[in-house]
Structure 1
Amino acid sequence: MSDTKDKIVTLADHLVRTKGFNAFSYKDIADPMEIKNAAIHYHFPAKADLGICVIDNEIDKFRESVEKWRKLPEDKQLTKLVEVFHRHGTNGFICLMGSLAPDFETFTDPMKAKVQEMGNVIVSWITGCLENGRAGKRFHFEGEAYDRALLIITNLQSSLILSRVLGPSVFNRVSNRILKDLKP
């Protein structure tokens, strides 16, 4: 991507995570970048195009992280995921999927599909991590790994949102409980 395009995507990602997708306009990107709206439209003719690019970047970052964690034991891999969420919270962000979900029904079909793809990639990875961790006696939990993965991702997402209201200790308490509840 070009430098301008990268900066647009980075700023859009920040705005989505702090305000929500429908709560910002191209002007919110153009003004701080000191460019015209037309420059944004050149790279992203529709706001959904920008949203899809933001999501694609997040999926790519997630896959790169997962690849780096691949040789770690599953409990350490899951801890790394929690650390990613913690960094987002420390920066005043909520997770991208959690930020996009409230606006989901307003998105174009291609953008809805991209949000679903992101969710499936993350939940599938957590599910596999849990299955492998349980098989290797690193995790203990009842029920299906997929169901537990859903509990983990929803708890991580909602704890970032609730931390905005009740303070950062909420995320720490929830994430610590998630990890402790999985110990054999």
Structure 2
Amino acid sequence: MSETKEKIVSMADKLIREKGFNAFSYKDISEPLQVKNAAIHYHFPSKMDLGIEVVEQEIRSLALNTEKWKKLPEDEQLAKFCNVFRKHCNNGNVCLMGSLAPDYETLSPEMREKVHEMAAAIVEWVTGCLEQGRKHKRFHFKGSAEDRALLVISNLQSSLLLSRVLGPAAFHRISRQLLADLGA
């Protein structure tokens, strides 16, 4: 990816997490990057094309991270996953899925498909981590691992929203309690 294209995607990611997908325009990207709107349109003819690239980048990032973490004990893997959210909290951002969900019905079918792919990948990874962690007696919880994964993910997402209103301490308290409840 060219340096300009990378900067455009990075800025779009930041704006989606800060404002939401429908709340920014190419002008919000072009001004801080000091590029013309035409340069953005060259790389991404439509805003949906840009949004799809942001989501694909997040999917790749998840795959790279989980590959790096896979040799760690499951409780440490889940803590690393929580740290990804912690970084977003410290930057005043929400997670990409949490930011795109309110705009979901306004997205193109192709972008909705990518958002669904991202959500499914996250749920699948957390589910697998929890299943293996319970098998190795690192996690203790009732019910299915997939149901628990949905609870973990939704709590992490909502903790980022709460931290915007109540401050970062809300995220830290919630994530600590999530891990403690699992016996991690």
**Percent sequence identity over aligned pairs:** 62
Task: Return the alpha-carbon distance in structure 2 between the equivalents of residues 169 and 127 of structure 1.
Answer: 26
Instruction: Map 1:128-143 to 2 at 5 A.
Output: 128-143=128-143
Instruction: Map 1:92-171 to 2 at 5 A.
Output: 92-171=92-171
- List structure 1 segments (4+ residues) > 6 angstroms apart after TM superposition: none
Deviations 1:8-46 (A, max 9, x none): 000000000001100000000011111111111110001
Task: Return the alpha-carbon distance in structure 2 between the equivalents of residues 102 and 164 of structure 1.
Answer: 17
What corresponds to 1:52 in structure 2?
A: 52
2:166 counterpart letter in structure 1: L
Count of aligned pairs = 184
1:90, distance to aligned residue in structure 2 (A): 0.2
1:159, distance to aligned residue in structure 2 (A): 0.3
SS in 2 for 1:143: coil
What corresponds to 2:75 in structure 1?
A: 75
Task: Return the alpha-carbon distance in structure 1 between the equivalents of residues 171 and 123 of structure 2.
Answer: 19
Gaps of 5+ in 2: none
1:92, distance to aligned residue in structure 2 (A): 1.1
What corresponds to 2:173 in structure 1?
A: 173
Instruction: Return the TM-score normalized by structure 2.
Output: 0.99
What corresponds to 1:14 in structure 2?
A: 14
Deviations 1:27-68 (A, max 9, x none): 000111111111111100010000000011111111101011
Task: Return the alpha-carbon distance in structure 2 between the equivalents of residues 152 and 21 of structure 1.
Answer: 24
SS in 2 for 1:118: helix
Task: Return the alpha-carbon distance in structure 2 between the equivalents of residues 31 and 74 of structure 1.
Answer: 43
1:28 counterpart letter in structure 2: D
Instruction: Map 1:26-65 to 2 at 5 A.
Output: 26-65=26-65
1:137 counterpart letter in structure 2: K
Instruction: Return the TM-score normalized by structure 1.
Output: 0.99
What corresponds to 1:23 in structure 2?
A: 23
Task: Return the alpha-carbon distance in structure 2 between the equivalents of residues 78 and 66 of structure 1.
Answer: 10
C-alpha RMSD over aligned residues: 0.8
